[in-house]
Each structure stands twice: as C-alpha cells, then as structure tokens.
Chain A
Amino acid sequence: MKENEDDSFFVNELTKAQAKMRAYVAKLLAHSSSTDDVVQECNKLLWVKRTEWDPDTTFLKWAYRVCYFKAMAHCRDQSREKLVFSPELLEMMGQEDPDEYTQSGREMAMDQCLAKLKEASRELLLERYRKNFSVEELASREGLTANALSQKLLRLRYKLHHCIQENLKSNPAQV
C-alpha cells in the first residue's frame, strides 16, 4: 500500500514536470524534432530510478539532471544532425535550469498579452501556430510576400514574448 502511494505521488510529480522537462530538453537539443523522443526516454529512466528520488528534494531539479544526461547521450549519437551544440556549451546550458514560472502561469500571461494585440495580428499569429495555413497561403491572403510575412510574424512573436516576460515578472503568483 505504501509503495502504491509513493508511486502515485511520483507519477503526480512527473506529470506536473512534463512541460518544464520538455522545455529544458528542447533547449539542449536546439529545439530538435527529437525532443519528444528524448523526453520520453527521460520519463522511462525516471520511472526506473524512482526509488532514488528523495521526496524531500525538488523533483524538477532531479529530473533536469536525468534529462541532461539523456540529452548529452542523444547529441553524442546524432552524427547526422547538423544543429548540435558543442559539448562545452551543452554543459553550460545544462547547468542552467529553466525559470520557475509554471506553464499555466505562462498561459495566463499569454492570455493577457494576446488580448493586447490587434485582433488581426492576434489571429494571424495564432493561425500560423495552429498550422492551418502555410506561410505562403497566409502571405497571399495578407497581400505580402512570404518573406515579409515571416518578418511580421517574427516581430509579433517577439512583442508577445516580451509582454509575457514582463507580465510574469510583475505577477510572482504565477510561479
């Protein structure tokens, strides 16, 4: 019974940590499409090693270390991958954990920041992220070249991200 309770608590922690773990692994893998596979490998390893985790310590800290070694191993094995950080940089970035803002905190901040964008800009950005339309299709609709639209989306995203970070800083409750 005790074991079941411990497992249940562990699963709960592991589930909560998924978004942050993914962001951490994505950073180390230069946002590679293998990110989800590596995160899955991390999950498996964390489960195997679950008895090694001391519940009195922060779960994420422990999870990041496991993710770091998995990401290192992945980069080492990826001879065909062109965009791989150097081992030195990987080590440097591996030691820097993501900030403590939760995904839901970031979502709340995004809600508020999206509301500040002009309606057309907001829809344009979200449509691009929903991937319902290609850049070429959106550009055609907006009467822009694909390159000009990409620049516009880049600026919108930059603006949104800046707003989110400001919002998070001014609302510590979102940690």
Chain B
Amino acid sequence: MKPEEKLVWKLIDRDITREEFEKLQESFSTSKELRNYYQQCIETHAVLSNYTKPDHSTLPLPMPEKAKRAKPPAWLGWAAAGLLFAYFGLAPEKLSQVRISASDAPDWRGTELSLGDRVPHHLLFLRDGNIEMNFPSQTTIQIEGPAHFQIIDNQTLEVMDGNIEIAHRGKPGSFTLLTPIGELRDLGTRFSVNIQNVEDKTTMVTQVKEGKVEFKNQKPAQTKILLEEEKWLISGTHRGAPAEFQPWTQKQNDIPASKNDLPGFDEPESIALQTPKFTAIDVMLQGNLKAQMKYSMIDSVAQAIDQKARILVDAENTFSGKHNISFAEAAMPEIEAMAHAVVDGFVDFSKLSFWSTCQTAKLSWHEHRDKAGQVIHRTPLVENLKVPGEGNRMLVNLKQIKTWLESVHQLHQTKGMGWVSSFGCPEDGKLIYLRRENDIAVLSKTIRSIQQNLD
C-alpha cells in the first residue's frame, strides 16, 4: 500500500492529522489517479458501513465479558435519540386523531392545547380547568384538572390521576381507559372515574351512569362487570396486583367522584369537610404568604422536572436493550441535557429546603363529634413521617438524574475518551468528560445540601 493510499483511508476514518491532510491535499492536486482512488474508497466504505447481509455469517466470535458493553450501531443511537427527542418536544411528533372539542379555563403545564388541536401522544398535565376530547371511536371524554393523561392510540386513553367523564356511543368494547390499577372497557355506556394516588396506593371511584363497564387487570386475571347506577371504590397498587372492590358510599371516604358530586355551600359543613383540597404543606405554610409563594414556585419547577423525568423513566422501563446498547447510552443526550439544565440553570437547587423537595409530613384529621357520635367538625393536623415520601419528587428526580449521569460517565470511562466525539477525537471527548464530571459533582453537592437544609 502506498503511503498516500494509507492517508486516504485515514482521511475516510477522520483519523488524520492536519499535516497529513495538507500532504494528502498536495498529492490529490497532482494525481488524478489518487483522486479516483479516494472516490472509490469512499464508495467501498459506504457499502461496508451499510453491509448487513449475513451471507458469510459465522457465529460471532466470543468476546470477553467486559467487551459486551459495546458501542451501538450509530443508526441505533440516533434512532433512540430521535425517539426520546420526540418525547421532549424537540422533534416533530406524530399527533393522534383525538381532538380538543371544548375547554373551560384550562391551565396546562408543559404542552398547551387549544380548541380544535389534535392531541399529541405524550404525557399531558392539565393543572386546572376542564377539557373535552373527541375520539374517533365515538367517545367523548371530559377531563377535569388536576389530571395527568396520555393518548395511547385512537381508542385508548391512559389516565394517571384526575376526574374523567366518559360517554361512548361507538361499538361496545372499542374504547379502553387505562388506569394505574387496571383497565376499564366501555361496553356502550356513560361513566365517570375519579383516580387518586396516595403514597403507593391508587383509589378509583367509578360510577356507571348508563350501560355497563368491564374492569380488567392482568395478574391475577381479574374481571368485573360494573352495572348501571353502581358506584364502586376500586383500589390497588398497580396493574399487576389484585384490586379490591367496595361499593362506594358517601361516608366511606373523602374521595369525590368529581367536582359535580362535591357538596355545595348549602350542604352541611360536616360533609363538605370530607373533601379536603389542601395538603400537609398547605397547613405548614398557613399564614406565611412569602413561604407559600416560594413553595408554589418550587412545586412548579418540581412538576416540570418530574414531567421530563417520568418520560425517561417510562422509556427506560420499556427499553429493550437490543444490540447490546444500554439505556444510558441510548438516552445520553437527553440525560446530559437534563442534568446540565439542573446544574447550569437559573435555579440554585442547593438552597432548597429538604421538606420542599419531598414529603416529610402527612395530613391527618382530628374529628369532633356530637352526642350522637356524628362528626360535626374536623381539624387538620400535620403528622411528621418517619420515612419521607416522594412528595413533589424533586429530590427523587435529582437523585435519578445523578444516577443516570453516572451511568453515562461510567460508559465513557469504559469506552475511552474519543467515544462521545463525532470524529472519535480524544480531546473533544475529554472536554465532554470533564464537563460531565463537574455536573456530577455539582449534583452530588446539591443533593447533600438539600438533605442538610432541615429548617
């Protein structure tokens, strides 16, 4: 092989020094033969790069265990990144056939939708107000905020929490509502659902107004037909766990089926007090307007981060791990962007108090009864939790982001400095490595600082 030909291959690999490049340019200027050779090599390289035929396939040669954490095919990384970017709204996203048909003072967080808009397939958060959506399956859904929901396809809606009213006039069984504890299949009917998540449990009050509804979950296989005018409290922990059914009565719990079912001002105070609309933090901050405003801002930031983090968590849960590629590797751009936004954003997270980033207390009620034993008055009490809950998930998400980032960093160490550089350049890779190392250090310090801010 002539030295110039060797340089041609080095150029194709982008593994050529500036001096070598200049030398090659000179050779190109004087040799048509070398220029032809260069062109042909580029074509051979292109065909080799896309070569997928297993014509000569032999069993892959054994690799040492460590080597199985391999660099993915470039296209796969881009495909995964594209998919995740789509989730983040950085790339055009396919919209469903579901449209917003009515709305009343909707307060969206994240994606905002207006009347007539087609609804995207990603997770949506309606903080307040009401919206109505029309599905092609001749299903009309009303959702009352606060609610998290996602259009799965043109006949399936997943709702994490919120009040939902469903009217289905299409073919029985052609619309499904996925909930955290199972699915509700509409058998030609009208029904409402109120879904609430408290700690690790989901409760769902389902009221069938017309027709019937089938409840199903997978493990153990459970099916129950809910009949017209029935109202059930269904509770459980997840779709794979058995659900419990109880006929719903007003006395039984605090969970209203919807705001329409809430007692009005003309109803006895004792019943109205069964529907608290505040949390332990509201009680803790009562009378401290400045703290309330501060916390509402923290809560909004926490929700924004949580919305993005949950998308990645969902992606991680459904990630197949084919082609020997880890989730951290496929989602590296999104993980790094999220971490960098936290570290180098406009909020100094290290100043946050521990209680504002998780749940340190819960609300309990002191009941006052009359002589007949009827509750006439209830006083909210704040009870400290021995083990803090996730709360607004700020702390949980910061820890998660740090964990993801550390996985990427570990991979970078394993793969070598040139790994993340598009040209395989170790210097570029080193810069990225150092920046990430700094982000990890800042994130760790932030988390430590929050955990020590015990005011």
Q: How far is the CA of A173 from the CA of B36 in the complex (A)?
A: 20
Q: How far is the CB of A102 from chain B (nearest CB, A)?
A: 10
CB distance A31 to B11 under 8 Å?
A: yes
Cβ contacts under 8 Å, B63 to chain A? 133, 137, 141
User: Does B35 contact A93, Cβ atoms closer than 8 Å?
Assistant: yes
Nearest opposing residue in chain B for A137, CB measure: B67
Task: Give the residues in chain A near B36, CB-CB below 8 Å.
Answer: 96, 99
Partner of A119, one of B53, B58, B419: B58
With a cutoff of 8 Å between Cβ atoms, the chain B residues found around residue A23 in the complex are 39, 42-43, 46
| CB 8 Å contact bits of B14-54 with A (1 = contact, 0 = none) | 10101001000100110010011011111111111101010
Which chain A residues border B40 with CB–CB below 8 Å? 99, 161, 165
Q: Report the interface size for chain A: residues with CB under 8 A from the other chain.
A: 54
Q: Is B224 positioned at the interface, with any CB of A under 8 Å from its CB?
A: no
- B-facing residues in A65-87 (Cβ within 8 Å): 82-83, 85-86
**How near does chain A come to B158, taking the closest CB pair, in angstroms?**
36
Q: Judging by beta carbons under 8 Å apart, are A26 and B11 in contact?
A: no
A171 contacts B by Cβ under 8 Å = no
Which of B32, B67, B74, B415 is the one whose CB lies under 8 Å from A141? B67
Count of chain B residues near A, Cβ 8 A: 52
The answer to whether A154 has its CB under 8 Å from any CB of chain B is yes
A92 and B38 alpha carbons, distance in the complex (Å): 13
Interface flag for A50 (CB, 8 Å): no
Determine if A132 is an interface residue (Cβ-Cβ < 8 Å).
yes
Residues of B within 8 A of A86 (CB): 25
Stretch at the interface among B1-9, B123-131, B284-292, B386-394: B1-9
A residues less than 8 Å from B415 (CB atoms): 134
Contact A31 B14, beta carbon cutoff 8 Å: yes
Taking a contact as CB atoms under 8 Å apart, the answer to whether A107 and B67 are in contact is no
From residue 111 to 141 of chain A, which have CB atoms closer than 8 A to chain B? 111, 114-115, 119-120, 122-123, 125-127, 129-134, 136-137, 140-141
Asked if A27 contacts B14 (CB within 8 A), the reply is no
Q: Which residue of chain A lies nearest to B6 when distances are taken between CB atoms in the complex? A: A154
C-alpha gap A111/B47 in the complex (Å): 11
Query: Measured between C-beta atoms, what is the minimum distance from B27 to chain A in Å?
Result: 10
B168 shortest CB reach to chain A, Å:
41
List, in ascending order, chain A residues with CB within 8 A of B73's CB.
Answer: 130-132
- Identify whether the interface residues of B are mostly helix, strand, loop, or mixed: helix
Q: Is the CB of B38 within 8 A of A89?
A: no
- Give the complex CA separation of A120 and B59 in angstroms: 11
Task: Let me know if A55 is at the binding interface, CB within 8 A.
Answer: no
Whether A123 and B60, one on each chain, are in contact in the complex, defined by CB atoms closer than 8 angstroms, is: yes
Contacts of A93 in B (CB 8 A): 28, 35
1/0 per residue A4-44: CB within 8 Å of B? 00000000000000010011101100111100000000000
The verdict on B348 contacting chain A, using a C-beta distance below 8 Å, is: no
Report if A119-B56 is in contact (Cβ < 8 Å); known contacts: A27-B39, A141-B61, A161-B44: yes
Contacts of A136 in B (CB 8 A): 416
Given A33-B423, A96-B32; A27-B38 close (CB under 8 Å): yes
For window 72-86 of B, CB contacts with A under 8 Å fall at: 72-74
- The answer to whether A132 and B71 touch across the interface, beta carbons within 8 angstroms, is yes
Closest partner residue, chain B, to A126 (CB atom):
B51
| Distance of A39 Cα from B265 Cα, bound (Å) | 68
Q: A103-B43, A126-B51 are in contact. List 20 more A-B contacts (CB 8 A).
A: A19-B46, A23-B39, A23-B42, A23-B46, A27-B42, A31-B14, A82-B21, A85-B28, A101-B43, A114-B56, A129-B48, A130-B73, A131-B72, A131-B74, A132-B72, A132-B324, A134-B419, A141-B61, A141-B63, A141-B64
Q: Please list the residues of chain B having a beta carbon within 8 angstroms of any beta carbon in chain A.
A: 1, 5-6, 9, 11-12, 14, 16, 18, 21, 25, 28-29, 32, 35-36, 38-49, 51, 53, 55-56, 58, 60-64, 66-67, 70-74, 323-324, 415-416, 419, 422-423
- The 7 A-B pairs of least Cβ separation, nearest first, read A137-B67, A161-B44, A23-B43, A129-B48, A132-B70, A33-B422, A106-B47
Q: What is A's interface to B at a CB cutoff of 8 Å?
A: 19, 22-24, 26-27, 30-33, 82-83, 85-86, 88-89, 92-93, 96, 98-99, 101, 103, 106-107, 110-111, 114-115, 119-120, 122-123, 125-127, 129-134, 136-137, 140-141, 154-155, 157-158, 160-161, 164-165
- Can you list 10 contacts pairing A with B, beta carbon distance less than 8 Å? A19-B46, A82-B18, A85-B28, A92-B28, A131-B71, A131-B73, A132-B73, A132-B324, A137-B63, A157-B44
